Amino acid sequence: MPLVLTEEQSLLRDSARGFINEKAPIAHLRKMRDERDATGFSRDLWKGFAEMGFAGLLVPESFGGSGLGAVEAGIVLEEIGRNLMPSPFLSTAVLAASALVRGGNAEQQAAYLPKIADGSLIATFAVDEGAKHKPLSIAMQAVRAGNGFKLNGAKALVVDGHVADLLIVAARTSGNAGERGGLTLFLVDPKAKGVSVERTVMVDAHNAARITFDNVEVSADAVLGEVDQGGELLDAVLNIGRGAVASEMVGLSEEVFNRTVTYLKERKQFGKLIGEFQALQHRAATLYIDIEISRAATLKALQTLDQDAAKADHAVSVAKAHAGTTATRAVQEGVQMHGGMGMTDQFDIGLFMKRARVCQELFGDDNFHAERLAEARQY
């Protein structure tokens, strides 16, 4: 399959770009942040997203979605990244929808997927517990109790956790931290007794929460997939999330870069445009190259996820690691080349830097993915 977008995919990109540029430019994020908006995103815009077909992008047509794949999800995330749009797209349309499509039984799918597609349900995926992404180290316990399970533990960096109507939670039903076996995914109602949700205001002004589970009782129907066999499903959903976040980083890197190059062509010092200085030209050129390479690696990962998801680990880690390193560099060069203005809150560049930092951590940073690659290659 060629590593370029098809005509349909280009049209999707254009429509996502048009919608987000018009309705959710960066001013939208600033408004949410400055007004300390309780929801952290616009429900009206999310309804609009659903009407455009974006909320149900990964939901099968039989449940009211468009039945598209990771490449299409990545296209939308890239546009979200360009405008730093606060949106439940990642949590709900990508992570939760993928988990339900891959792991849900007929009843679970029928209960939730149509509501995801029509924009009426916000759902999210709760995995991380410690400061760093270590999915195999999940310690949260799910112990059999009566017909169901009792959950105890805590999750962090749960995207949109404080506004979610449904939590998909990874917990340990057997085995020890570090083992792949013994993990199980559960569908949990955040209003259930024993669930407490603390919204965490984050550096990037995007939604996240810490959620604790204190003897939370769930029925056997709440299990998503198979008991003790959730590791594979977890990996599959995480891989889609990683590919999607890599796309968001490509989008934000390119936007920061474009703004920076524009600035190099406008700003004068020493009687010259600063873009005439070779010291800056060469750094801009290497950054352009890094972004193009990240873009290619990310598209490869997304295509692999759609074609042969079981063999996507390598391509996904390459993309997430490369795009993470690139984004980190793009935002730092963006601030540096904007000089003092880049340090001001009034300029948008700093907002990109903050979001890039969060995207790095989401589902494993560049170190995590380089390590995963070394592990897989057995050295």
Nearest approach in angstroms of CB 261 to other proteins is: 6
CA distance 200 to 57: 28
CA distance 132 to 372: 14
Asked if 152 and 214 count as a contact pair (C-beta separation under 8 A), the reply is yes
CA distance 260 to 286: 13
Nearest approach in angstroms of CB 335 to other proteins is: 19
Choose, by CB under 8 A, the member of 145, 203, 289, 310 that binds other proteins. 289
Choose, by CB under 8 A, the member of 105, 219, 281, 344 that binds other proteins. 281
Asked if 241 and 168 count as a contact pair (C-beta separation under 8 A), the reply is no
Choose, by CB under 8 A, the member of 61, 292, 308, 345 that binds other proteins. 292
Dmax (CA) of the chain: 78
Choose, by CB under 8 A, the member of 299, 305, 309, 359 that binds other proteins. 299
Asked if 117 and 55 count as a contact pair (C-beta separation under 8 A), the reply is yes
Choose, by CB under 8 A, the member of 36, 191, 193, 377 that binds other proteins. 377
CA distance 156 to 374: 27
Closer CB to other proteins, 41 or 257, in the complex = 257
Residue 104 in tokens: 């849900």
Closer CB to other proteins, 184 or 304, in the complex = 304
Choose, by CB under 8 A, the member of 285, 307, 310, 344 that binds other proteins. 285
Kindly indicate which of the ranges 44-52, 68-76, 231-239, 290-298 contains the residues binding other proteins, using the contact rule CB under 8 A: 290-298
Work out the angle at residue 362's Cα, subtended by the Cα atoms of residues 361 and 366, and round it to the nearest 5 degrees: 50
Nearest approach in angstroms of CB 136 to other proteins is: 15
Kindly indicate which of the ranges 107-115, 117-125, 153-161, 361-369 contains the residues binding other proteins, using the contact rule CB under 8 A: 361-369
Partnered with residue 268 across adjacent β-strands are 273
Q: How many CB atoms lie within 10 A of CB 256?
A: 31
Q: Tell me if 159 contacts other proteins by CB under 8 A.
A: no
How much is the CA Rg of the chain, to the nearest whole Å?
Answer: 21
Closer CB to other proteins, 150 or 283, in the complex = 283
Q: Tell me if 378 contacts other proteins by CB under 8 A.
A: yes
Token pair 């977008």: residue: 5
Q: Tell me if 252 contacts other proteins by CB under 8 A.
A: no
Closer CB to other proteins, 160 or 366, in the complex = 366
Site residue total, other proteins (CB under 8 A): 44
Residues whose CB is less than 8 angstroms from the CB of residue 48 and which lie 6 or more positions away in sequence, other chains included: 19, 23
Closer CB to other proteins, 207 or 325, in the complex = 325
CA distance 54 to 47: 10
Nearest to 288, CA basis, from 246, 251, 326, 335: 326
Kindly indicate which of the ranges 14-22, 39-47, 55-63, 288-296 contains the residues binding other proteins, using the contact rule CB under 8 A: 288-296
Q: Tell me if 288 contacts other proteins by CB under 8 A.
A: yes
Choose, by CB under 8 A, the member of 259, 296, 332, 341 that binds other proteins. 296
Contacts to other proteins from residues 3-22, by CB under 8 A: 3-4
SS3 category, 183 = strand
Q: Tell me if 366 contacts other proteins by CB under 8 A.
A: yes
Choose, by CB under 8 A, the member of 102, 180, 199, 314 that binds other proteins. 314
Asked if 274 and 267 count as a contact pair (C-beta separation under 8 A), the reply is yes
Residues whose CB is less than 8 angstroms from the CB of residue 153 and which lie 6 or more positions away in sequence, other chains included: 129, 139, 140, 141, 171, 212, 213
Q: Which residues bind other proteins (CB under 8 A)?
A: 2-4, 261, 264-265, 272-273, 275-276, 278, 281-282, 284-286, 288-289, 292-297, 299-300, 314-315, 317-319, 321-322, 325, 366-367, 369-371, 373-374, 377-379
